[in-house]
Amino acid sequence: MSVIAQNLAAVRDRLDRACRAAGRPAGSVTLVAVGKSFPAPALAQAFAAGQRHFGENYLQEALAKLGALPPGTAVWHFIGPVQSNKTRDLAERFDWVHSVDREKIARRLAEQRPASLPPLNVCVQVNVSGEASKSGVAPAAAGELCRTVAALPRLRLRGLMAIPEPGAAREPYRRLRELFEELRADGLPLDTLSAGMSDDLEAAIAEGSTMVRIGTAIFGARTK
Ligand SMILES: *Cc1c(COP(=O)(O)O)cnc(C)c1O
């Protein structure tokens, strides 16, 4: 077994245990393997070990890797900051964009998503930690952006995404979950909470995450 296959097995085990501890069914959380800074062969090893959802942060780096896995088999998630001049590649090449944080980006993705493809799955990124340096809409503005996304053609609103500051444990995930439940109660069709990374997936799952984005625990420490 490759190191990556062993790491993946360990992460799947952590996910199962976290689900059990939270009283949630095993398999209720989707694992997105975050390959940023790792080359295509590392992703291919994860693929060989059964991994199907892959996340990337940087468009240029991602474009070089998208062709590395058999076409139509992997599900590609863009999780990095979106520049408005890069939306076309995202609309044409990805299955999900987790990091939509302004209306302009949503509109461009909707215009540029090819009609031949299924709607692009979209999460609205929320700044639950309130730090000026982080991207994401303020929690109070998330509902309006969700409604904009839901009304646009070629996009499918799926949920919320957040990247809380490291070491903050459950508190930001609890706030994210409360916002998610509030928006659902308002009638928004949200089914995805994209939350949790290598160090804090247990806290995220305890607070209802349905999709974790894991890099280090699968591929190892990043050197850049
Ligand atoms: C890098 C990254 C991850 C994965 O982080 P790890 O700590 O390596 O698991 C998840 N989400 C986003 C948005 C990232 O940039």
For residue 201, the number of C-alpha atoms closer than 13 Å in the C-beta half-sphere is 26
Closest ligand 1 atom, residue 218 Cα: 9
Q: What tokens does 102 get?
A: 């302004």
Residues in contact with ligand 1 by the CB-under-6-Å rule are 34, 36, 57, 79, 163, 197-199, 213-217
Is the entire prediction scored with pTM above 0.85?
A: yes
21: helix, strand or coil:
helix
The first and second tokens of residue 93, run together, are 């090449």
| Interval 43-76: pLDDT, tens | 999 999 999 999 999 999 999 999 999 888 999 9
Beta bridge partners of 205: none
Give pLDDT, residue 165.
Answer: 82
Nearest CA, atom 12, ligand 1: 79
Measured distance CA(95)–CA(212) in Å, rounded: 16
Express each pLDDT in 169-207 by its tens digit: 889 999 999 999 999 999 999 999 999 999 999 999 999
Hey, what are 178's tokens?
């409360």
For residue 186, the CA-to-ligand 1 centroid distance in Å is: 30
Q: Mean pLDDT check: name the lowest of 19-28, 88-97, 131-140, 145-154.
A: 131-140
Distance between Cα 36 and ligand 1 center (Å)? 8
